[in-house]
Amino acid sequence: MRSLTFTVAAGCLSAGLAMAETPVLTVYAPDYFVSEWGPGPKIEELFEARCACDLQFKPGDLLPRILLEGDRTEADVVIGLNTDVTKKARESGLFAPHGVDLSPLTLPLEWTDEVFLPFNYGHTAFVYDTTRIETPPASFDALLDAPDDLRLVIQDPRSSISGLALVLWVQAVYGDEAEAAWDKLAPKIVTATKGWSESYGMFTDGEVDMVLSYTTSPAYHIIAEEDETKKAAIFPEGHYFMVELAAKLAGTDQPELADQFMSFVLSEEFQGMIATGNWSIPAALSQDKWPEGFQKLDLPENVLFYSEDEAAELRAEAIEAWRRALSR
Amino acid sequence: MAARALAVSAALALAFLTLGPVAVVLARAGGFGVLGPGDWQAVRFTLWQALLSAAFSVVLAVPVAKAMARRRFSGRGLLVTLLGAPFILPVIVAVMGLIAVFGQAGLVNAGLAALGLPTIDIYGVHGVVLAHVFFNLPLAVRMLFSAWQAVPAEHFRLTASLGLSGQAQWRVIDGPLMARVLPGAFTVIFVICLTSFAVALTLGGGPRATTVELAIYQAMRFEFDLGRAAALAVLQLALALAAGLVALRFAGQSGFGAGRDRVVPRWDGQGPLARIWDGAWIVLAALFLLVPLSTAVLRGVPGLWLLGPDTLRAAGHSLMVALGSTALCMAWALPLASRRGELLALPAIAISPLVLGTGLFLIVRPFMNPFDLALPVTGLVNALMALPFALRILRPEAEAVARDYGRLRATLRMTPLAWLRLIWLPRLRRPMGFAAGLTAALAMGDLGVIALFADPDRTTLPLQVYRLMGSYQMEAAAGAALLLLMLSLSLFWLFDRGGRVNAAT
pLDDT (tens digit per residue) in A201-244 = 999 989 999 999 999 999 999 999 999 999 999 999 999 999 99
By Cβ distance, the residue of B103, B202, B365 closest to A198 is: B202
Percent of chain B with pLDDT over 70: 92
CA distance B496 to chain A (A): 28
Q: Does B103 touch chain A (CB under 8 A)?
A: yes
Percent of chain A with pLDDT over 70: 94
By Cβ distance, the residue of B201, B452, B471 closest to A192 is: B201
Q: Which residue of A has its CA nearest to B314?
A: A35
Residues of B numbered 336-375 whose beta carbons fall under 8 angstroms of chain A's beta carbons: which are they? 358, 361-362, 365, 369, 371
Using an 8 Å Cβ cutoff, are A144 and A193 in contact? Answer: no
Inter-chain CB proximity A35 and B467 less than 8 Å: yes
By Cβ distance, the residue of B99, B455, B472 closest to A207 is: B99
Inter-chain CB proximity B369 and A200 less than 8 Å: no
Tell me, what's the pLDDT at B269? 66
Q: Are the folds of B1-30+305-504 and B32-255+269-299 the same?
A: yes
Flag whether the pTM goes above 0.80.
Answer: yes
CA quadruple B284, B286, B288, B294: dihedral sign: negative
Q: Is the pLDDT of residue B160 over 90?
A: no
Three-state SS annotation for B397-456:
HHHHHHHHHHHHHHHHCCCHHHHHHHHHHHHHHHHHHHHHHHHHHHHHHCCCCHHHHCCH
Q: Are the folds of A23-121+242-295 and A122-241+302-327 the same?
A: yes
Between CA B305 and CA B220 the distance in angstroms is: 38
Inter-chain CB proximity A64 and B472 less than 8 Å: no
Interval A53-80: pLDDT, tens: 999 998 877 888 888 888 888 899 999 9
Average pLDDT over residues B312-322: 91
- Average the pLDDT over each of A14-18, A125-129, B47-51, B117-121 and give the range with the smallest value: A14-18
CA distance B222 to chain A (A): 7
DSSP string of A279-294, one letter each residue? SSEETTS-GGGS-HHH
Tell me, what's the pLDDT at A2? 39
Between CA B22 and CA B359 the distance in angstroms is: 6
CA distance B208 to chain A (A): 5
Average pLDDT over residues A116-141: 94
Interval B255-272: pLDDT, tens: 566 665 666 566 666 778
Interval A230-289: pLDDT, tens: 999 999 999 999 999 999 999 999 999 999 999 999 999 999 999 998 899 999 999 999
- Average the pLDDT over each of A46-55, B97-106, B229-238, B409-418 and give the range with the smallest value: B409-418
- Average the pLDDT over each of A20-29, B83-92, B468-477 and give the range with the smallest value: B83-92
Residues of A in Cβ contact (< 8 Å) with B105: 205-207
Q: How confident is the model at residue A9 (pLDDT cuts 50, 70, 90)?
A: very low
Residues of B in Cβ contact (< 8 Å) with A201: 92, 96, 469, 474, 477
Tell me, what's the pLDDT at B370? 73
Query: What CATH homologous superfamily does A23-121+242-295 map to?
Result: Periplasmic binding protein-like II (3.40.190.10)
CA distance B376 to chain A (A): 17
CA distance A159 to chain B (A): 6
Tell me, what's the pLDDT at A93? 93
Q: Does B93 touch chain A (CB under 8 A)?
A: no
Q: How confident is the model at residue B452 (pLDDT cuts 50, 70, 90)?
A: low
Q: How confident is the model at residue A4 (pLDDT cuts 50, 70, 90)?
A: very low
Average pLDDT over residues B467-486: 87
Tell me, what's the pLDDT at B451? 62
Query: What CATH homologous superfamily does B32-255+269-299 map to?
Result: MetI-like (1.10.3720.10)
Tell me which of A116 and B403 has the higher pLDDT.
Answer: A116
Tell me, what's the pLDDT at B224? 83
Tell me, what's the pLDDT at B268? 66
Average pLDDT over residues B207-212: 88
Using an 8 Å Cβ cutoff, are B130 and B203 in contact? Answer: yes
Q: Is the pLDDT of residue A7 over 50?
A: no
Cα A11 versus chain centre, distance: 32
Q: Is the pLDDT of residue A321 over 60?
A: yes
> How do the domains of chain B map onto residue ranges?
1-30+305-504, 32-255+269-299
Q: Is the pLDDT of residue A20 over 60?
A: no
How many angstroms separate the most distant Cα atoms in chain A? 68
Q: How confident is the model at residue A1 (pLDDT cuts 50, 70, 90)?
A: very low
Q: Does B92 touch chain A (CB under 8 A)?
A: yes
DSSP state letter for B171: I
Residues of A in Cβ contact (< 8 Å) with B103: 202, 207
Residues of B in Cβ contact (< 8 Å) with A190: 104, 123, 205
Average pLDDT over residues A142-151: 94
Query: What CATH homologous superfamily does A122-241+302-327 map to?
Result: Periplasmic binding protein-like II (3.40.190.10)
Q: How confident is the model at residue B252 (pLDDT cuts 50, 70, 90)?
A: low
Average pLDDT over residues A105-134: 94
Inter-chain CB proximity A37 and B207 less than 8 Å: no
Percent of chain B with pLDDT over 90: 18
Residues of A numbered 206-245 whose beta carbons fall under 8 angstroms of chain B's beta carbons: which are they? 206-208, 217, 220, 224
Q: How confident is the model at residue B395 (pLDDT cuts 50, 70, 90)?
A: confident
Between CA B486 and CA B484 the distance in angstroms is: 5
Mutation pick from B25, B44, B224 vs chain A, by most beta carbons of A within 10 Å, is B224
Q: Is the pLDDT of residue B503 over 50?
A: no
CA distance A241 to chain B (A): 19
In this complex, how many residue pairs, one in chain A and one in chain B, have their CB atoms less than 8 Å apart? 152
How much is the mean pLDDT over chain A?
89
Residues of A in Cβ contact (< 8 Å) with B474: 200-201, 204
> How do the domains of chain A map onto residue ranges?
23-121+242-295, 122-241+302-327
Tell me, what's the pLDDT at B2? 65
Give, for B107, the enclosing helix (H) or strand (E): helix B107-114
Q: Does B224 touch chain A (CB under 8 A)?
A: yes
Q: Is the pLDDT of residue B501 over 60?
A: no
* Radius of gyration, alpha carbons of chain A: 21
CA distance B218 to chain A (A): 5
Q: How confident is the model at residue A327 (pLDDT cuts 50, 70, 90)?
A: confident
Tell me, what's the pLDDT at A11? 46
CA distance B349 to chain A (A): 21
Which one of A30-39, A86-95, B461-470 scores highest in mean pLDDT? A86-95
Q: Is the pLDDT of residue B440 over 80?
A: yes
How much is the mean pLDDT over chain B?
84
**Which burial class, exposed, middle or buried, applies to B320 when counting CB atoms under 10 A from its CB (0-12, 13-18, 19+)?**
middle
Q: Which residue of A has its CA nearest to B219?
A: A158
Residues of A numbered 131-150 whose beta carbons fall under 8 angstroms of chain B's beta carbons: which are they? none
Tell me, what's the pLDDT at B375? 82
Mutation pick from B91, B130, B202 vs chain A, by most beta carbons of A within 10 Å, is B202
Tell me, what's the pLDDT at B455? 66
CA quadruple B227, B377, B140, B393: dihedral sign: negative
CATH 1.10.3720.10 matches B1-30+305-504:
yes
Tell me, what's the pLDDT at B7? 85
Q: Does B202 touch chain A (CB under 8 A)?
A: yes
CA distance B130 to chain A (A): 16
